[in-house]
Structure 1
Amino acid sequence: MFKKLDKLIIKSFIGPFMAVFFITLLVLVMQFFWLYIDDFVGKGLSAGVIFKFIWYQSAVLIPLALPLAVLLSSLMTFGNLGETFELVAIKSAGISLLRFMRPLFLLSIVISVLAFLFSNYVIPVANLKSYTILSDIVKAKPAFDLREGVFYDKIPNFAIKIGKKEENDSIIRDVIVFENDNGLQDNFIVAKSGVMRTSEDKRYLEFFLRDGWRYQERADRYGSNQTEYIRLGFKEYKKILDLSTFQISWTSDSSGSSNQRMLTMRQLTHSIDSLGIEYKRIQQQMGNDIYLYLPFMQTRDSIATWQKRRDSLGKKDTVLYASFDAYIPDSAAKPVYDRAISQVNSLRSGLEATAINLKERGKEWRKHKIEWHRKIVLSLACLVLFMIGAPLGAIIRKGGLGSPLIFSIVFFMVFYFTTTTGEKFAKEGALSPFAGMWLATFVLTPIGIFLTYKAMRDSQLFNKEFYSRIVRKLRKKE
């Protein structure tokens, strides 16, 4: 049952948490757009498409924004209470720091559970949607942009040059249209003026040209090298160009559904089991390839037994294999050696291909395991960073955004870079997926326990005056 003290601490936490969460999410989304700004500019994207992408990408970045929001808001909350001496009053009333932290600790557990459910059921769908939209935008061509005095060659099989465009961009002058239908014929259209406009559905570009000439090169229909050249003068001429290649082709969501980031934990578990079975099958195939190319390996036990019997007169217990040359006549030695070298080279090529396949399967298995652990690690990070932020705020006793923001950035960078480094090592196989993804938790949890221990005993760990007194005492001794 909540008491007034619990309501006080929760109300003090909710405001900074919501503000920091949305600010962090905005910064992460802007950082993502900064990376792909070149792929978005100049492609005629509608506002609906951009907002749809922002919506899905924001959902993808929520698990990364939550830990930082919990860290900074808990640090600000306890820092403000410490700065106004409310923590001192609470402790003087006989209430321990752990009891005071309990409501926010329970709230952090709730946030971690909600973050896990969000990561498991919503993030895969949001990842799939945002990835599909982003890939279609990246593949799309820039929007049609015809400039004065420059040949425009983005339309397949055409190059267009316009000497001058009027203010309304529809009346054009000194027009040159170069057309290459099949690589063998070159056609030109030269006109003094005309009107340019696009169709209502934006699929076609229409030229209504005046006072010009059309130069056409026509090849012989029988396939000979003879061609004929045609020059046609016109007062009015209409030319229609297809602009369908400039429209974004939206692919279905199912095209990327097999990626590990688009799967739930249950689907990841099934994929991990399947990849493990496939990995063992490839390993067994490598052994079978050796027996296929080297048949004598199947009878190596009988050879060893025969050799042991042969050496029994000398009362030797060890197995001695006879020299390979002892069984081959000199006349057959070279063909046998050549055949043996050919078989070894074939075996090596086969094993190298199988080893590459085995390496790729192992890498894919590790990626799925990493994604499986990521869903738990990022959710649990909210609780781990709260264990750092709350006692740290009680120790530094500074509110606002100054000191709390600096400490939050430092610890979040430690969390982020440790997680990224562990993930990289896990992908390369230097660490297991479990050790790589949980590396940040293993590093930060002892720090949180240490800070909680210090905060419970009113530590002077981050008190500048405490260290100044130590320095003054050392100077006096000197």
Structure 2
Amino acid sequence: MKRLHSFILKSFLGPLAFTFFVCMFVLLMQFLWKYIDELVGKGLEWTVIAEFLFYVSATLVPMALPLSILLASIMTFGNMGENYELTAMKAAGISLQRIMQPLTTLAVLISISAFLFANYIMPVASLKTTALLVDIKNQKPELILKEGIFTNDLPNFSIKVDDINKETGMMYNLLIYDHRNKRGNTNVTIADSGTMITSPNNQNMTLTLYSGNMYQEVKEKSRRSKKHPSRRIKFQEYVTNVPLRSTELKRSDEDRYSKNYKMLNLKQLVHSEDSLRGKFQQEKNTLVKGLIANHFFKKDAKRIRKDSIRSKDLLKKTMNIDSLFKSAPITKQLTSVSSALSFARKARENVSRKEGALLSKQKWINKFTNEWHRKFTLPFACLIFFFIGAPLGAIIRKGGLGMPVIVSVLFFIFYYIISMTGERFAKELVLPPAIGMWISSLIILPLGIILTYKATTDSAVFNIENYINFFKKINPLKFFKKKNA
């Protein structure tokens, strides 16, 4: 049995590693396609890009791991079924459960590892990814001159070039606004041609202009003078050094993102959620007390005299509001109704104004609850997908990357759509967080049980003739013929 278990494990680990890296590559390319504009042209070093991709890859594991387990399970048992290895094992008296035993143990270990990864590594990876992505977005782009438009990437310069010779680097018909004196467009240069050469340390750039004119406004000593003197300088060659922006990425403080729900583990999520719920309940209680004090029970401003025996007697009696209202004159009745309507409108406006703020806070609290459940849905999904893939591969008996890929992708899309829908409903307070986050797993769990049972009993799940014969047996035309006879 040890050799058999070793054979099964080797047959599973190869496809698992291959499909995992393929899934990671596809998801990483999708992420890069989404944020390619933020990365290109920033002059980032390869170490920064490699670090960023490493952190991003860690955040994509929860999506790639269940799919790779499903695909590897179908491929492994599909290959063994196609090569009649499963048939030989069953003929030797080995049941499917016993064949799946070593892989079941491995799936449980992978699920436990996935939980530890989601609880301890994922928050750190999400924090690093978010902080580094924000820093990259804030990074100034490199100087890239485009023909026919102004470029402001060079510090204190605005440059427009009509034509650029890509072979020699010579630029033609330059219009340059020099803002180094911080006085606006007071220094304008027009040149027929020019070149830009960056220093080896990328700290400075030598700008050489040929055959042009420089127009400058001269700053006057007296502010009251209404004259605006200027000068024109004609040159055949003009050379100036321009300091470049630092290409080194400026790292921001990661602590400002550490309170986000994606950057917390289970213990931190519980602590943060309890704090938020306490503040939320306190704000609700304050709102209720304010409504009761200011809008429902209005106190009379007139003070009751202490020596009024009649007033004390009235306070001791229980008064009927309806009879007191009917006994009042019609004018006072109308005034009371008008005042009551005014108080009710103010209360409604106050509640409507506070309702939106309380609803937003409740949605924010639900995100912490959803993240808490997500730590457990990932390992559970890995386990379920194994019990779907293994029996499904034994049933279809097709290996390779053909049928297994199609079936795996269809199952994963079905699971992903339900998962995203349930999570969205949980965020929008349509469903409780526990139901919204677990609904996808609860839906596909019976499917795994059914497939495991069918594979164990060698039932022909994909035999179309069985379904056709079943529907022929329940033909409604035969039922009506027997009833009429």
TM-score, scaled to structure 1: 0.84
Q: Residues 219 and 225 of structure 1 are in contact (CA less than 8 Å); yes or no, is this contact kept in structure 2?
A: no
Mapped partners of 1:85, 1:110: distance in 2: 28
Identify the residue that residue 105 of structure 1 maps to in structure 2: 104
Residues 111, 195 of structure 1: alpha-carbon distance in 2 compared, 3 angstrom cutoff: same
Mapped partners of 2:292, 2:473: distance in 1: 79
Mapped partners of 2:339, 2:173: distance in 1: 73
Mapped partners of 1:344, 1:203: distance in 2: 69
Mapped partners of 1:163, 1:64: distance in 2: 48
Mapped partners of 2:451, 2:120: distance in 1: 34
Q: Residues 38 and 137 of structure 2 are in contact (CA less than 8 Å); yes or no, is this contact kept in structure 1?
A: yes
Summarize deviations over 1:340-383 as a string: whole Å, max 9, x none: 84x76765555444323212211111111111111110111110
Q: Does 1:89 pair with 2:85?
A: no
Q: Alignment partner of 1:213: what SS?
A: strand
What is the correspondence of 1:40-79 to structure 2 with a 5 Å cutoff? Answer: 40-79=39-78
Mapped partners of 1:353, 1:474: distance in 2: 60
Shift of 1:6: 1.9
Summarize deviations over 1:195-230 as a string: whole Å, max 9, x none: 423344434444244554322235666655835131
Could you say what the CA RMSD is over the residues aligned between the two structures, in angstroms?
3.7
Identify the residue that residue 118 of structure 1 maps to in structure 2: 117
Q: Residues 155 and 245 of structure 2 are in contact (CA less than 8 Å); yes or no, is this contact kept in structure 1?
A: no
What is the correspondence of 1:66-465 to structure 2 with a 5 Å cutoff? Answer: 66-155=65-154, 158-165=157-164, 172-179=171-178, 185-218=185-218, 226-235=226-235, 237-241=238-242, 243-244=244-245, 248-294=249-295, 296=297, 309-311=318-320, 320=322, 322-323=324-325, 326=328, 341=342, 350-464=350-464
Q: Residues 217 and 227 of structure 1 are in contact (CA less than 8 Å); yes or no, is this contact kept in structure 2?
A: no
Mapped partners of 2:69, 2:104: distance in 1: 11
TM-score, scaled to structure 2: 0.83
Q: Structure 2: give runs of 5+ residues left out of the alignment.
A: 301-313, 479-485
Mapped partners of 1:359, 1:423: distance in 2: 17
Amino acid at match of 1:403: M
Q: Alignment partner of 2:382: what SS?
A: helix
Amino acid at match of 2:17: M
Mapped partners of 2:83, 2:184: distance in 1: 84
Stretch moving more, 3-12 or 436-445: 3-12
Identify the residue that residue 25 of structure 2 maps to in structure 1: 26
Summarize deviations over 1:122-180 as a string: whole Å, max 9, x none: 11111111222222223334321123444323446642123555567665454321245
Stretch moving more, 88-97 or 25-34: 88-97
Q: Alignment partner of 2:100: what SS?
A: helix
Mapped partners of 1:118, 1:429: distance in 2: 28
Mapped partners of 1:420, 1:68: distance in 2: 16
Mapped partners of 1:5, 1:79: distance in 2: 17
Summarize deviations over 1:202-259 as a string: whole Å, max 9, x none: 3444424455432223566665583513113154545454542876433232232221
Amino acid at match of 1:145: I
Summarize deviations over 1:304-355 as a string: whole Å, max 9, x none: x9798345xxxxxxx637449948977x959x968984x7676555544432
Amino acid at match of 2:83: T
Q: Structure 1: give runs of 5+ residues left out of the alignment.
A: 300-304, 312-318
Stretch moving more, 256-265 or 227-236: 227-236
Q: Alignment partner of 1:395: what SS?
A: helix
Identify the residue that residue 314 of structure 1 maps to in structure 2: none
Q: Work out the number of aligned pairs and report it.
A: 462
Residues 457, 167 of structure 1: alpha-carbon distance in 2 compared, 3 angstrom cutoff: closer
Amino acid at match of 2:462: F
Amino acid at match of 1:255: R
Q: Alignment partner of 2:322: what SS?
A: coil
Mapped partners of 1:240, 1:412: distance in 2: 58
Mapped partners of 1:136, 1:267: distance in 2: 25
Mapped partners of 2:293, 2:177: distance in 1: 61
Q: Alignment partner of 1:412: what SS?
A: helix
Amino acid at match of 1:320: D
Q: Alignment partner of 1:309: what SS?
A: coil
Q: Alignment partner of 1:228: what SS?
A: coil
Q: Alignment partner of 1:438: what SS?
A: helix
Amino acid at match of 2:216: Q
